[in-house]
Structure 1
Amino acid sequence: MSYNLLKGKRGIIFGALNDMSIAWKVAERAVEEGATITLSNTPVAVRMGDVSKLGEKLGAEVIPADATNVDDLEMVFQRSMDVLGGKIDFVLHSIGMSPNVRKKRLYDDIDYDLLNKTLDISAVSFHKMIQAAKKLDAIADYGSILALSYIAAQRTMFGYNDMADAKALLESIARSFGYIYGREKHVRINTISQSPTQTTAGSGVKGMSSLMDFANRMSPLGNADADECANYCIVMFSDLTRKVTMQNLFHDGGFSSMGMSLRAMDQYEKSFDLYRNPDGTIQYG
């Protein structure tokens, strides 16, 4: 169902690869809500992924670009303004990749050159993106810039590796740049801390399926999926959230506020040989 929340707005979606991508879902919902958009991903991702098909479906130009390259980013913003006919109202940064994770390097044995790549791709690219937009004065008054994060920025999550460091930096950039851009141009910058979601990028994280199951058992509302995340992004792009900025917004079914849930405790107890005492207390074997 469309509510015309983005009617007349222009946007750029970075990071759509295939129909498993959150960015893909966001692009579809943005157009459903009345926006016109451009899509951007690396030249390799454009060649090997399905983003060109998405562009055809949505009538959106696909602009190949390296999000770690400032010249490429400036080109994306300038081209998008030319194609869409004015300043940009919303931007989604849905970019993340860890070479250390891909090579199965453990956190206490990471390659530091690869760590630099992780941080550049997954976090510093967000700073470069915002800085390029600001220098070009490419974002409209009260425009909205979003990046996708994860709770590993605040809590230790086994297997998330150096991506946790990248997400912590990503959220810090949103706060620091959010103050400057908000003060000077009324542009709002936020991050959404999403439930673990089965995407192409997320599949490389060690124990991803177990992590998703654990989070689902812990969350009173269950995990938020990619379509639900897209809906939240649309609200954050809309004029309904004009005064929300510099926030890390949890979209995780309540997981971030939980300590232990009934379902998780039941599963935990099943994993042991248990003896229940007459008084109802449990003795572990």
Structure 2
Amino acid sequence: MANNLLKGKRGIIFGALNDMSIAWKVAERAHEEGAEFVLTNAPIAMRMGAINDLAEKTGSIVIPADATSVEDLEKLIQEAMDHLGGKIDFILHSIGMSPNVRKKKHYTDINYNYYNQTLDVSAGSLHKILATAQKMDALNEWGSVVALTYIAAQRIFPDYNDMADAKSLLESITRSFGYHYGIKKKVRVNTISQSPTVTTAGQGIKGFDEFINFSEQMSPLGNASAVACADYCISMFSDLTRYVTMQNLFHDGGFSNTGVTQQVIERFGSED
């Protein structure tokens, strides 16, 4: 049900690949809530996905950009403002990639060139987006930037590999840049720590299906879906959350605060 929560707002959505992407769901919901936005992804990712279908569905345009390139980001942000007719009100950062995970390199024996790529794409890109937007004065006051993260930034999930380090850095950038951007322009910067979600990126992690099942049993409300995450993002882009900034917001059905559930206890007991 739409409530025009984003009516009159303009945005940039990074990371929509296909209809399994959380960014894809965010774009659909933002459109339903009255927002206008530009879609963007790296050129190589665009060749793998169906982002043009999403653009047609939401009445938006696609501007390719490498989020690790300041030059690309400057071009993207300027073209977005030109197309949308003014400054930006919200940005979604839904970007993550680990060559070490793809190449099945163990965390204790990673390739450090790959490691640098992981950190740059998955976290450093947020700093570059924020820094570029600030220098270009591209975000309106009370604008909102949301980046997607995961609880592996705080707890060990062995097969999450160097992406855990990247998410830790992502959350640190959120706090640090959120402070400076808040003082200068009252721009809000937050991360949403989502339940494990079936996406193209998530499926590349070893044991992902088993972990989703474990998380479901460890979460009092069950795992949050991609659509539910999109709803949360919309609320963070809206004026209803104006004073929320520099936060890591768990959207995981209670997983982050649960030590153990009766369902898990009974499952282990049944194996005796």
TM-score exceeds 0.5: yes
Counterpart residue identity of residue 30, structure 2: A
Alignment of 1:116-265 (within 5 A): 116-265=116-265
User: Residue 59 of structure 1 aligns with which residue?
Assistant: 59
Q: Which range is displaced more, 76-85 or 44-53?
A: 44-53
Between the aligned partners of 2:158 and 2:116, the Cα distance in structure 1 is: 21
Counterpart residue identity of residue 147, structure 1: A
Between the aligned partners of 2:141 and 2:246, the Cα distance in structure 1 is: 16
TM-score by length of 1: 0.95
Between the aligned partners of 1:133 and 1:155, the Cα distance in structure 2 is: 32
Q: Which range is displaced more, 203-212 or 147-156?
A: 203-212
Counterpart residue identity of residue 112, structure 1: Y
User: Residue 45 of structure 2 aligns with which residue?
Assistant: 45
1:45: how far off? 1.7
Gaps in structure 1 of 5+ consecutive residues = 274-285
1:44: how far off? 1.5
Between the aligned partners of 2:166 and 2:48, the Cα distance in structure 1 is: 25
Q: CA RMSD in A?
A: 0.6
Between the aligned partners of 2:107 and 2:268, the Cα distance in structure 1 is: 26
Alignment of 1:67-106 (within 5 A): 67-106=67-106
1:158: how far off? 2.2
1:47: how far off? 2.2
CA displacement 1:198-243 (0-9 Å, x = unmatched): 1000111111111111111010000001000000000000000000
CA displacement 1:156-214 (0-9 Å, x = unmatched): 01200000000000000000000000000000000000000010001111111111111
Question: Percent identity at matched positions?
Answer: 65
Aligned residue for 2:183, secondary structure, equals helix
Higher Cα Rg, which structure: 1
Between the aligned partners of 2:210 and 2:42, the Cα distance in structure 1 is: 30
1:74: how far off? 1.0
Counterpart residue identity of residue 157, structure 2: M
Aligned residue for 2:259, secondary structure, equals coil
Between the aligned partners of 2:108 and 2:265, the Cα distance in structure 1 is: 30
- Which stretches of structure 1, 4 residues or longer, exceed 4 Å deviation after superposition? none
1:267 pairs with 2:263: no
Q: How many residues align?
A: 272
User: Residue 31 of structure 1 aligns with which residue?
Assistant: 31
User: Residue 281 of structure 1 aligns with which residue?
Assistant: none
Counterpart residue identity of residue 129, structure 1: I
1:260: how far off? 0.4
Between the aligned partners of 1:166 and 1:221, the Cα distance in structure 2 is: 27
Counterpart residue identity of residue 157, structure 1: F
User: Residue 22 of structure 1 aligns with which residue?
Assistant: 22
CA displacement 1:116-163 (0-9 Å, x = unmatched): 000000000000010010000000010000000000000001200000
